Amino acid sequence: MDTPTFNQRRNAGEFDMASRLLPAVNPDMILFSFLHPDNMVPNGLNGGRYDNPEVTALLEAARAEPDKDAAFEMYKQVQQIVAEEAAYLPLYSNNVFWPGKPEVTGVHINYLAQVNFYDVDIAQ
C-alpha cells in the first residue's frame, strides 16, 4: 500500500503488526518516543499504545537527570522492563548489518543514524 495510507492506518491503530523506523540513536529519543504514553499515535511514535506507569516515571526521571551515568542506569531499567513485557518485538532491520561487512569501508554513521555515502566503498 502507499505510504500515506500505511501511516494513516498505523496511526489509527488498524493493524496486528506494523513497522517503524527509528527517529534517532540516543536513548531518550528512541525510548521516550516509543514508550511514553504522551507519544501514543497519532501524536507520536508509540504505535503500540504502550503505557506502563513505572516505565513512564523512569523515562521522565532519566530525561531530567543531569548525571549521564545515572540516566544511563534508568534507561537500562526501562529496557529490561520493556523486554520482559515484550512491548515491542524487533523483527528486522534493513540497514544495520551491511556496515559491518569487511568488504564495506568508509561507513560513518552520525547521531541521527544517517550515512554519508560519498565515502563508502565496496571492495571486490
Percentages helix, strand, coil for the chain (3-state, rounded to 5) are 45, 5, 50
What CATH class is the domain 3-91?
alpha beta
Q: What per-residue string of b and e applies to 87-123 under the rule 16 or more CB within 10 Å gives b?
A: beeeeeeeeeeeeeeeeeeeeeeeeeeeeeeeeeeee
- The pLDDT tens digits of the residues spanning 67-112 come to 989 999 999 999 999 989 987 776 655 555 556 678 888 877 766 5
pLDDT of residue 29: 80
Domains of the chain, residue spans: 3-91, 92-124
- The pLDDT tens digits of the residues spanning 35-49 come to 999 998 888 888 888
pLDDT of residue 73: 94
Q: Which residues pair with 112 in a beta bridge?
A: none
